[in-house]
Structure 1
Amino acid sequence: MEARHLHPSRRLRRLLLGSLLLGATTASLPAPAAEPATDLPTAQPGEVGMDPLKLARLSAWLRDEKLDVRSLLVVKDDKLVFERYSGGLSRDHNYELYSVTKTVTSLLFGIVAGEGKVRPTDKVADWIMKAHPEFEQALADKQNIEMRHLMAMSSGLYYKQVEGTDPLYYTAPNRLQVALGTTARVPPEQTFEYTDVNPVLVGTAIATAAGEPEDRLAEERLFQPLQMKNYHWTGADKAGSVSGGWGLRLRAVDMAKLGLVMLHGGQWQGRQVVPKSWVEQMSAPTTKAASDYGYYCWINHIVDSEREFGAMGFKGQFITVLPEENAVVVMTSILPTEGGLRDATYINLYRKIVNDYVLPAMHTRVTPAAAAAGQEALRDELARSARSKGIPGTDLAFNDAPER
């Protein structure tokens, strides 16, 4: 959209331009006065050097393609500068995060490890035996598996998933028992085998070391300190344990807070909530089996032009940390799932979003007049997107509906 040409006096032009720049707060956000104190500060894209017109084009592309992107956020310089929802959703809705949950489990491990209660080199069998000696026989072939092997998806354990009715997910009275029924197919560190069995064992060990269930630990040490709202860790089995690998529901803005914690070396508003050394460790390659994976953390999985790491969940849930840009990108969606772990359609669509739109918006310098015009275009586009609704790219599960 071209900038409007104004013909009054120079003083009036400046007043009008100033009003436009100040009045057009981030298009997708509530007015600052209505903004909850617990949420992130906001700014216009142009105020942090981003091109709002490129963000408007991104939103229009998602809408034109009818992609079921429920939320898409960009945080730059600790300010929320882009916040897009569709289908009548709002900031207060939460979403099933699928495997983004694993990254939260890694952060919790780092918290407990920072207190000296557990170490990455601890044998998982020792921790499980402390709380569940009844599983001694099931642990016989798992004596050499360390916590770090489980978090790097290199434990050597193999589990054949039953699509739709798998007892690890939905019907198990005791999920730990199901996980311990797996076999150690190869020794640890030899192969990368992405399986939800691993975080079940890690979650059990964390709960034992911390002396409380994983979801309660998360609430006390992460969710409450970060002033999150509407969080819910679903899928507890009949023994009362949640899975360390899936089931967590968060608002998109609270996902962004987790991204900021990782961006700032474990700090949140000056408070060290996760040890800096752990964030560095979890976001670095840990085995030769996978150069793009740390401890439940993907590394340069979305961007290869600069340092990037973060979390990824099935169907299109992402937290992406961009240290060179001092930025975090968050998305929740229901996109097509065809393809493998590293080349599924939802991953490639998200790569396009970040590499073809978000990063160029960060790398384009705009004049104040262009920023004002772009902001107006962005505001108009986000209003249209809020009323539109994408088409789910795959079958909806019972837990895919947004909640408040």
Structure 2
Amino acid sequence: MIKNFTILTLFLIFVSGCFYNDPVPSDQNVWPVALPSTFEMDEELLLEMDSVISIDPNNGISSVVIIKNGHLVYEKYYHGSDRRTLFELSGVSSSIVNVALGRAIDLGLITSVTDSIYKYLPEYNQIFEDTPLKKNITFEHVMTMKSGLSWSEFSGGFDDLLSDNDKIIQSEDWVEYLLSRPLDAYPGSRFAFNSAIAILISKVIEIQYEDSFSNFLTKEAFRDLNIDHVGIEVLGDNVNTAWGVSMTTLDLAKIGSVYLENGNWFGKPFIDETYVESSKSIQTNIDYSNDFGWMWWRYAEQNMFLSFLAENDIFFAAGTSNERMYIVPHLDLVVAITGTQEGEGFALSAPYVFRGYILGSLR
């Protein structure tokens, strides 16, 4: 009796999560729906996850979508959000810019990742002329965080309490601020994390496309995925593609599915396979815990997180709060999680939800 009740409850939870009483656009029902048990996922553990997230509006999790073996097995929204909500993606925005660049190359707007960004930014020509070595900065250098441009991600130290992130937001022209930073390494030689640097790529795409980056995404880059609502924060004349992209969780999962399938969308080529492979491959060894691709994170072999996986093929996009998208090829798994942008000290972290509940349900 209890078992039957659990199964019935689970069924109602998942069906209500996947379908709403309000009309749902047909382009959102892209995956066949299945119960987690279809793929031997522990449903009781996922029910526990749902309960834990639901009980506290301040726990920091606002949505969870799980795609397993090409099926939508879990879709839940919390604390007043739903499948039409555009969630702020924070640092995941950079991974979206990575996808946009791949599409821009496919469409012929940009020749190659090895191109210098210099030739695409004529408005800032004087900065490059003043420091000719900056002409060697390529798109690949930007994506691997090896531009060589000096950057203080968190603070300037005792003599300067403001980080470059603080200063760029206060500046009139964010592209000019980035390019004007002094070189402290030869382009391509050293990793230095710079969460704002995706702005350089989106600026190039705007110039080449001769329209807004937002229109490029919805009218060109993501059109075949039926992604037609993307929010991008604009501050003054600056388009915040570093931390300011917003998408629905289902649309975020579409991006993950494309990269899981090596650039294909339901069997049809969407983005160059070689570009996707390079994006998700380890391009830079950072430390004992993390590695980095082209604006995608990887786990280093010593990372304890890998004890939950049979092999280290996981790659992911990460924001500063609870925004995450995990892609695990050997499990045929895509997980998109969004979180709150408010407050500190969340009761739940997205990595814990992913590790403890979602990967836990597959053990």
| Separation in structure 2 between the aligned mates of residue 128 and residue 349 of structure 1, nearest angstrom | 39
Q: Give the drift of 1:25.
A: 5.2
Residue 206 of structure 2 aligns to a residue in which SS? helix
Whether 1:26 and 2:15 are equivalent positions in the alignment is yes
| Separation in structure 2 between the aligned mates of residue 347 and residue 282 of structure 1, nearest angstrom | 32
Change (3 A) 1:23 1:317: closer
| Separation in structure 2 between the aligned mates of residue 142 and residue 337 of structure 1, nearest angstrom | 39
| Separation in structure 1 between the aligned mates of residue 204 and residue 164 of structure 2, nearest angstrom | 27
What stretches of structure 1 of length at least 5 have no aligned partner? 6-16, 339-344, 364-404
Match of 2:27 among 38, 48, 62: 38
Quick check: 312-321 or 290-299, which moved more? 290-299
Aligned twin of 1:390: none
Q: Give the drift of 1:311.
A: 1.0
Q: Give the drift of 1:199.
A: 1.5
Aligned twin of 1:168: 168
Change (3 A) 1:211 1:313: same
**Is the 8 Å Cα contact of residues 98 and 247 (structure 1) preserved in structure 2?**
yes
| Separation in structure 2 between the aligned mates of residue 264 and residue 182 of structure 1, nearest angstrom | 38
| Separation in structure 2 between the aligned mates of residue 196 and residue 22 of structure 1, nearest angstrom | 41
Change (3 A) 1:21 1:53: closer
Residue 111 of structure 1 aligns to a residue in which SS? helix
Change (3 A) 1:279 1:62: same
Residue 158 of structure 1 aligns to a residue in which SS? coil
Whether 1:272 and 2:256 are equivalent positions in the alignment is no
Aligned twin of 2:83: 91
| Separation in structure 2 between the aligned mates of residue 313 and residue 252 of structure 1, nearest angstrom | 14
Match of 2:121 among 104, 120, 128: 128
| Separation in structure 2 between the aligned mates of residue 104 and residue 214 of structure 1, nearest angstrom | 11
Change (3 A) 1:347 1:229: farther
**Is the 8 Å Cα contact of residues 98 and 314 (structure 1) preserved in structure 2?**
yes
Residue 83 of structure 1 aligns to a residue in which SS? strand
**Is the 8 Å Cα contact of residues 73 and 331 (structure 1) preserved in structure 2?**
yes
Whether 1:355 and 2:350 are equivalent positions in the alignment is no
| Separation in structure 2 between the aligned mates of residue 348 and residue 255 of structure 1, nearest angstrom | 21
Q: TM-score, normalised by structure 1?
A: 0.74
| Separation in structure 2 between the aligned mates of residue 164 and residue 309 of structure 1, nearest angstrom | 27
**Is the 8 Å Cα contact of residues 292 and 299 (structure 1) preserved in structure 2?**
yes
Number of aligned residue pairs: 341
Aligned twin of 1:110: 102
Give per-residue Cα distances to partners, 1:48-101, cap 9 Å, x unaligned.
332221101112233456512111111112222112221121111111111111
Q: Give the drift of 1:36.
A: 2.8
**Is the 8 Å Cα contact of residues 158 and 183 (structure 1) preserved in structure 2?**
yes
Q: Give the drift of 1:196.
A: 3.3
| Separation in structure 2 between the aligned mates of residue 184 and residue 134 of structure 1, nearest angstrom | 15
AA of the residue aligned to 1:360? G
Q: Give the drift of 1:214.
A: 2.8
Aligned twin of 2:334: 328
**Is the 8 Å Cα contact of residues 90 and 320 (structure 2) preserved in structure 1?**
yes
Change (3 A) 1:270 1:221: farther
Give the RMSD, CA atoms, in angstroms.
Answer: 3.2
Q: Give the drift of 1:295.
A: 0.5
AA of the residue aligned to 1:261? V
| Separation in structure 2 between the aligned mates of residue 277 and residue 347 of structure 1, nearest angstrom | 40
Residue 245 of structure 1 aligns to a residue in which SS? strand
Q: Give the drift of 1:186.
A: 1.4
Whether 1:100 and 2:92 are equivalent positions in the alignment is yes
| Separation in structure 2 between the aligned mates of residue 324 and residue 288 of structure 1, nearest angstrom | 22
| Separation in structure 2 between the aligned mates of residue 148 and residue 93 of structure 1, nearest angstrom | 33
**Is the 8 Å Cα contact of residues 221 and 273 (structure 1) preserved in structure 2?**
no
**Is the 8 Å Cα contact of residues 236 and 243 (structure 1) preserved in structure 2?**
yes
Q: Give the drift of 1:325.
A: 1.5
Quick check: 94-103 or 211-220, which moved more? 211-220
Aligned 1:365-376 pairs, distance under 5 A: none
Whether 1:58 and 2:49 are equivalent positions in the alignment is yes
Aligned twin of 1:300: 299
Aligned twin of 2:231: 232
Residue 18 of structure 2 aligns to a residue in which SS? coil
| Separation in structure 2 between the aligned mates of residue 164 and residue 310 of structure 1, nearest angstrom | 25
Quick check: 248-257 or 107-116, which moved more? 107-116
Aligned identity (percent) is 20
Larger Rg computed on CA atoms: 1
Aligned twin of 1:314: 320
| Separation in structure 2 between the aligned mates of residue 165 and residue 359 of structure 1, nearest angstrom | 34
Aligned twin of 1:8: none
**Is the 8 Å Cα contact of residues 285 and 294 (structure 1) preserved in structure 2?**
yes
AA of the residue aligned to 1:38? D
Change (3 A) 1:322 1:248: same
**Is the 8 Å Cα contact of residues 116 and 137 (structure 2) preserved in structure 1?**
yes
**Is the 8 Å Cα contact of residues 104 and 221 (structure 2) preserved in structure 1?**
no
Residue 143 of structure 1 aligns to a residue in which SS? helix
List structure 1 runs of 4+ shifted beyond 6 angstroms.
Answer: 19-24, 335-338, 345-348
Aligned twin of 2:185: 186
Residue 50 of structure 1 aligns to a residue in which SS? coil
Whether 1:155 and 2:147 are equivalent positions in the alignment is yes
Aligned twin of 2:214: 215
| Separation in structure 1 between the aligned mates of residue 51 and residue 12 of structure 2, nearest angstrom | 23
Q: Give the drift of 1:292.
A: 1.4
AA of the residue aligned to 1:78? G
AA of the residue aligned to 1:352? Y
AA of the residue aligned to 2:121? I
Whether 1:49 and 2:55 are equivalent positions in the alignment is no
